[in-house]
Amino acid sequence: MMTWGESHGEALGVVVDGCPAGIELSAADIQHELDRRRPGMSEIASERREADEVLILSGVFEGKTLGSPISMLVWNRDVDSTPYEEIKHIARPGQADYSYQMKYGLRDYRGGGRASGRETLARVAAGAIARKVLAYHNIEIVGHVVEIGGIRARARARARARAKRVELKEIKRNAEMNAVRCADPEAAVQMQELIKRAKREGDSVGGIVEVIATGVPPGLGEPVFDKLDAELAKALMSIGAVKGVEIGVGFGAARMRGSEMNDEFYIDTEDGRIRTRTNNAGGILGGISTGEPVICRVAVKPTPSIAKPQRSVDMARMEEVELRIRGRHDPCICPRIVPVAEAMVALVLIDYMMIMRGGRLETMRQK
């Protein structure tokens, strides 16, 4: 997968290579996920309204994938670069202006350029294809918001130590019913209030997004460097606003005893398979999937673009200035991170489903 495009450039896109041939795929399949990523709610979200209509330019023939690279493109419309002109030399705090300028010596300052969150639509488009293929293998991925600005969803609305599929359906259904994508309806209301308040104050809030993958077969992951959890960590940390990644109980493990943390094995009487009674490990042991649900969470920082005045530096004139950011910005990016994080998990899993290195001989690709 390769993504390309700047926020206010001609277009954004992604090329997906390695998709199996023969998968039914239409622009509508992609569009559905893109629409979930789009800002929607007037009060708690950015007001930029883009159709974000995806075009499939290659790799699909008569409704089916060809096995050759799938190129997808979204034109950039509804672009107003005016607010960026006046601050084009200023390093916005919490943004990539300064580091890009240092690395590249120049940058497209309009709308964040390449470092814009808008880049994630290419990830979501690619992830939509991955999810279609994973669905052939009964792997399902559900993301939702579990915490915003300190308000936490109740345990029932989080992936618990031993996630069951039925609960996941409930989490998914509940999370998609509100603007913050939180499966706990009461917490969702509070979160929305908090976001509105932050917006009124010219400020923003962060939170935590959880992603659960069910149906993952045991055996995915390539020790010792390309472990499943390692690749998930990389994929999720590569999302712009993410500052932390954890698997299973994650940082909670630091405060647990071994006797609490260890998930005991038992034999499931229904299907005779070995399972664990708890799932503190988040479905991964030794970097390889166990067959239990894979659970990960990411820490999302508060949107750096805030209306409040901030101190910064004009990089061209090399002098300190006061910065006031105009334009349309989400006061909380968490709900929109949900489909992006889901996409990244899907992209990691699909990669392991298609590469077999060092596994059992009998699972080697048949001629």
If the CB atoms of residues 173 and 356 are measured against a copy of itself, the closer one turns out to be 356
- Least separation, in Å, of the C-beta of 236 and a copy of itself? 8
- Least separation, in Å, of the C-beta of 182 and a copy of itself? 13
If the CB atoms of residues 174 and 280 are measured against a copy of itself, the closer one turns out to be 280
Q: CA-to-CA distance for 275 and 255, rounded, in angstroms?
A: 24
Q: Please say whether the dihedral angle defined by the alpha carbons of residues 193, 199, 200 and 201, taken in this order, is positive or negative.
A: positive
Q: Which of 298, 303, 95 is nearest to 198 (CA)?
A: 303
If the CB atoms of residues 83 and 359 are measured against a copy of itself, the closer one turns out to be 359
- Least separation, in Å, of the C-beta of 245 and a copy of itself? 6
- Least separation, in Å, of the C-beta of 290 and a copy of itself? 5
Question: How many whole angstroms from its chain centre is CA 362?
Answer: 34
Question: What angle is formed at CA 41 by the lines to CA 347 and CA 214, rounded to 5 degrees?
Answer: 30
If the CB atoms of residues 57 and 173 are measured against a copy of itself, the closer one turns out to be 57
3-state secondary structure of 271: coil
For 245, the token pair is 């990644």
For residue 4, give Cα distances in angstroms to 72, 113, 250, 340, 359.
Answer: 10, 11, 33, 16, 34
- Least separation, in Å, of the C-beta of 180 and a copy of itself? 14
If the CB atoms of residues 170 and 203 are measured against a copy of itself, the closer one turns out to be 203
- Least separation, in Å, of the C-beta of 222 and a copy of itself? 8
If the CB atoms of residues 22 and 83 are measured against a copy of itself, the closer one turns out to be 22
If the CB atoms of residues 28 and 365 are measured against a copy of itself, the closer one turns out to be 365
If the CB atoms of residues 34 and 249 are measured against a copy of itself, the closer one turns out to be 249
Question: What angle is formed at CA 319 by the lines to CA 317 and CA 324, rounded to 5 degrees?
Answer: 100
For 75, the token pair is 């034109």
CA atoms lying within 13 Å on the CB side of residue 14: 19
- Least separation, in Å, of the C-beta of 70 and a copy of itself? 7
What residues pair up with 226 in beta bridges, in sequence order? 222
- Least separation, in Å, of the C-beta of 174 and a copy of itself? 20
Contact 290, 276 (CB under 8 A): yes
Q: How many CB atoms lie within 10 A of CB 7?
A: 22
Question: How many whole angstroms from its chain centre is CA 290?
Answer: 23
